[in-house]
Amino acid sequence: MDIIYHGKAKQFHLFNDRISYVIGIFPNGEPGQLYYGKRIHDREDYSYLINYEFRAMMVGKPDNECFSLEMNRCEYPSFGTTDLRDPAFEIVYKNGSKVTNFQYVSHEITDGKPGLPGLPALYTEDDKEAKTLKLNFVDDLTGVELVLSYTIFRDYPVIARNALIRNSGDEKVMLEKAMSLSIDLPDRDYRWIQFSGAWAREKYPVERELTEGITKIGSMRGHSSANHNPFVILKRKNTDEFSGEAFSAALVYSGNFISQAEGDAYGTLRFMTGINPEGFSWKLDPGEEFQTPEAILTWTENGLNDLSRTIHRLYRKRLSRGVWKEKERPILLNNWEATNMDFDEEAVLKIAKRGKEAGVELFVLDDGWFGKRDDDFSGLGDWFVNTDKLPEGIGGLAKKIRDMGLMFGLWFEPEMVNEDSDLFRKHPDWVLSVPGRERSLGRHQMVLDMSRDDVWDYLYERMHSLIAEGQLDYVKWDMNRTISECFSAAASPEEQGKVYHRYVLNFYRLYERLIADFPELLFESCASGGSRFDAGIMYYAPQTWGSDDTDAVERLKIQYGTSYGYPIASIGAHVSVSPNQQTGRMTPISTRANVAYFGTFGYEMDLNEVSDAEFEEIKKQVAFMKENRGVIQNGDFYRLISPFEDNYCAWMSVSEDREKAVFAYYKILSEPNSGRRKVRLKGLDPDRLYYIDGREFYGSELMEIGVEITETPGMEWKIPSGDFISKVFLIHSREKNGS
């Protein structure tokens, strides 16, 4: 790993064992993208990659019209000079001009990776793990400065990028757009994969061809959203799960975003991601600066599974923080689907006691414990314990739960408020709404203006007090509506364009403060399920509720799609009742568990209501997960059969030392007289013997011959017939000498 500067050519080569990233300073002083991909040899000069040619309708430099930015690959493109494609930034000056010409002035190369104040970002624990390049530019006419930052990691084929814009001039400017990452590629022979959906069907992969024009996804909802995820893969047309070149771009941010690819008329491709410029405008007075969120580029030549495993390891080890970042997650029991808001302390303790008998480790009390909160219409925002339900408060209930030998957790939805609440009656100006216009409602609630410090102060005091009173082990942080009417009563007219981003910054600040106060606390993020499941949130909450849809069949798709860009340990996944409350589907409790194992695992039901036989099975499920969650949550995950393409699904996790694996196979609908299904396993050591149900196989056999699964009686890899059937296989290794 190194960053080499070639002074004569004004070029920078960032590389490690797998990738190279080459930046050059163009003749007009702006940064150019010369190469990104598989590791190449270093050389003194890559100037042959700069294009000089004359074409009709092209504009170029006055002293050499054969050089045009439009015909070159730019690193952080501007608009209005010689590049007429979509720019990475847009600054409006006092005279109304939007033309900026940043000129290279200096650079810095340092060991390690600096953090981003107030924003989530990858980090290092040792300065030898990474190197960082900062390129400094200035627009001489206005004094505005640009700092582009790049970090290359020793152990990952990853580049982390961000941009900072500083007003060092004498007049205020308006920043209207600032991407975190922009990269120009020499061709557009890629397939675009986005992860889209809606509530209850999050992160379905959507693949499309890239041609001339713009392909774009994004969010204007105030959060990253279930509709489109701020994670995109560009892959070569022949790339599949196990071979071929691809790269991904993830925005480490939880608010409005865009990700887009622009194919130009000459066959090249421009990709960028960052804060959505719609609804964004940031006034910079002299001396002020704006820091973009971080973006992460990840590259592979070994297929999409390899790309995902890099991301999984990177996020577990260098994005998540604290005691829980790679710690096995507690098996929990949540009361929501059992009681909704209709409960009292006796009912809660009865559910928790039964969970303890089953072996669960954490009980979570969901919505309804505060204010006058008996339904969705009232109480939200009044974060004071309802003593009619919990006579001894959160502290009293928590003690009784802990005396059972369980950890205790609590649900919050701090960003929201009902009209029927003491908080709204006292502070109607604390909600995001436009004066004189009707307020929209979602789930009968409004959004608190988290861009305001007084709102932040109230929420911090209330959450801190309750966490301390209950000595909580876990917090489920929910958000059940999208932001609309984004107008702050506390902001001036020219500051309204800052409200969306300030909301996110204060949201992060609240997390950061609570983590500092309670470093042992496990946070789980939730936003009506997966509506704020992004890389940014993982910096604060190492796990996120994957979806409100707990149906096992739908969860195959949701968890399969989520695994492309997020670790298995980050996916909140629970066993719930049958028929399922979201879909009405009836599935065996074995299949519900076999799907939920590949996540954080827990139960969303009243275990007092199940049969004795099911309860015994649940106890076995809990024991199984305790024994194998380390492999499942922190092992290498492989997608084997896609539920988006087949009536079947299969995946597996392999321990890092390759001594143990958990392989899961799912059949969705029954097929009459079906044939054998051959599944080749992955990630094993070909030279080791592995043991499955008392029989032994070399890793090479399991990966090259595979396992043949059938419904035929007496056959080795038999599964039952019927709909929604599944089986999990444990695979153990011993060395050839039998040790």
The verdict on 287 and 401 lying in the same domain is: no
- Distance separating alpha carbons of residues 527 and 482, to the nearest angstrom: 9
Q: Give the pLDDT of residue 737.
A: 38
pLDDT of residue 559: 98
CA atoms within 13 Å, Cβ hemisphere of 214: 11
CA dist., res. 728 & res. 653, Å (int) = 11
pLDDT cut 90: percent of the chain above it = 93
pLDDT band of 739, cuts 50, 70, 90 = very low
Do residue 255 and residue 372 come from a single domain? Answer: no
> What is the average pLDDT across 412-434?
98
Query: Which one-letter amino acid corresponds to residue 266?
Result: Y
The catalytic site residues sit at: 478, 548
State which residues form the domain around 86. Answer: 2-318
Neighbours of 617 (CB within 10 A): 17
- pLDDT, mean over the chain: 96
685 found inside a domain:
yes
Instruction: Kindly compute the dihedral angle of the four CA atoms of residues 469, 475, 481, 487, in this order, to the nearest 10 degrees.
Output: 60
- Tell me: do 64 and 134 sit in the same domain: yes
What are residue 503's phi and psi, to 5 degrees?
-55, -50
- C-alpha to C-alpha distance for 355 and 364, rounded to whole angstroms: 11
pLDDT at 738 over 90: no
Q: Flag whether pLDDT at 63 surpasses 80.
A: yes
pLDDT digit string, tens, across residues 302-323 = 999 999 999 999 999 999 999 9
Q: With bands split at pLDDT 50, 70 and 90, how would you rate the model's confidence at 675?
A: confident
Domain at 48, CATH number: 2.70.98.60
Residues 683, 546 within the same domain? no
Number of domains comprising the chain: 3
CATH number of the domain bearing residue 720: 2.60.40.1180
Same domain, 467 and 532: yes
Given a cut of 60, whether residue 364 has pLDDT beyond it is: yes
- Residues 276-281 have a mean pLDDT of 98
Position 713 pLDDT exceeds 80: no
Distances (CA, A) of 278 to 177, 438, 493, 602: 9, 22, 16, 39
- Number of neighbours of residue 736 by Cβ within 10 angstroms: 9
**What percent of the chain is predicted at pLDDT more than 70?**
98
In a domain, 355, yes or no: yes
- Tell whether 162 is covered by a domain: yes
Burial 19-57 (b: 16+ CB within 10 A, else e): bbbbbbbbbbbbbbbbbbbeeeeeeeebbebbeeeeeee
Residue range 535-560: average pLDDT? 98
Torsion of CA 289, 293, 299, 304, to 10 degrees: -160
Inform me whether the pLDDT recorded for 126 exceeds 90.
Answer: yes
> Could you report the per-residue pLDDT of 280-292, keeping only the tens digit for each?
999 999 999 999 9
- Reported residue count of the chain is 739
Does some domain include residue 181? Answer: yes
Q: What's CA 637's distance to the chain center, in Å?
A: 17
User: What's the CA gap between 304 and 558, in Å, rounded?
Assistant: 17
Give the mean pLDDT of 342-347. 97
Distance (Å, whole) CA 294 – CA 251:
6
In Å, how far from its chain's centre is CA 635?
18
Mean pLDDT of 557-573: 98
Angstrom distance (rounded) from CA 253 to CA 229:
11
Residue 248 binned pLDDT confidence (cut-offs 50, 70, 90): very high
252 part of a folded domain = yes
Q: What is the pLDDT of residues 582-598, one digit of tens each?
A: 999 999 999 999 999 99
Per the CB < 8 A criterion, the answer to whether 154 and 129 are in contact is: yes
